[in-house]
Structure 1
Amino acid sequence: MNNLKKFYSHLHAALSTQHLGSCPKGKDGMLNVHLVPHTHDDVGWLKTVDQYFYGDKNNIQRAGVQYILDSVVQELLQDPSKRFIYVEVAFFARWLNEQHDVMRHAVKGLVNSGRLEFILGGWCMNDEASTHYNAIIDQHALGFEFLRQNFGECGRPRVAWQIDPFGHSREQASLFAQMGFDGLFFGRADYKDIDQRKKAKTMEMMWNGSPKNLGSKADLFSGVLFNG
């Protein structure tokens, strides 16, 4: 335990020299590509929430969220050049609550340095077709409050991430704009829609979520993922 504390103490000292939003410097005259790994974990779908978290019933679907977080955090702590974004707070909250104080302190250092970033920040990535707006607001409020209590302003999500719902609604974009997000990225668009957007160069756009009622308050920069 003492060796573990020394290890994380050394790593956290290195992390504390970085600032929020830090990023590797680009090179002039080169095409600079930023790779930001991410994961999306269903909070119950083909398996129960417990089975997804602990990696049970892998004959149904191969998924063990605790091992994703274990390995990602270790890699971030060992290599200051790496970044990761995480979405579903339901799983992250469970994982963090199972860690000892030394690990929680190290994770907070990763968040403060901008190398572990939360996006979306809801308890889950909600469906957009059948979910009532009250449930959407409540589940995001639950996730936001957990991040606020544990990481303060550095844990605040700035980007909405709806890469898995089957279809997208204007009201969802409007809600995200009112929640204070800077942008929204989504996937699973119809292939004909994606083909048309690629031709028209409208894969990125300003989504007017409520032009008749809220006006610019509901406008949100949005992008469609190319491989969705």
Structure 2
Amino acid sequence: MDGKVIVVTGASGALGKVVVEAALASGARVAGVDHAPTQVPATPGRLELGGVDLTNAAQAGKAIDAVVSHFGRLDALVNIAGGFAFEAVAEGDPRTWQHMYALNVLTALHASQSAIPHLAAAGAGRIVNVGAMGALQAGAGMGPYAAAKAAVHRLTEALAAEWKGRITVNAVLPSTIDTAANRASMPKADFTKWVTPQELADVILFLVSDAASAVTGALLPVSGRV
């Protein structure tokens, strides 16, 4: 990873933080982008861009341009920004579906559209999206979230087909991620069966690496020990 420039969206979240630290440890230069305010000072190999609304195409474009201006290039984009809502369909609010689509699909779409010219120029660009195992077969209450993540899967496949040979585009599909928030919401679950953020980060960085140059259009399950 030495010298590669990687953008990680949703960088201040439970998974985003781990991916950023793992990428830095591998020798990459990393730009973290998040809607939350910046809390980490910039270093020679690290740039943090806070207050960015990736559901807005113009803001996404400005963030990617700032990264390229700072580092001089862009090699990979990891789209982690997203959100979750649990709501039954019959009693649900259509605005929940719109919100899930915006947080999970538009963020990935806008960041990808802004990054693609730079990734193509890099010669071996990478995009890694975060889908969900729960989008393969939605359970009760999972409709809005599963529909949005299913759209992320289709976005991944379409981009992979459109940029085959120039940019690899893949998605990881985690089951439940072992985070403090998920433990609090499911206190009786067996946490040992969940996938850890570090395990998921390892898979994401593999897909970013040169070793994954022949992998594109994959929807890769990362289901822990379920």
The two structures have a TM-score, normalised by structure 1, of 0.38
Greater RCO (CA < 8 Å, at least 6 residues apart): 2
Higher strand share: 2
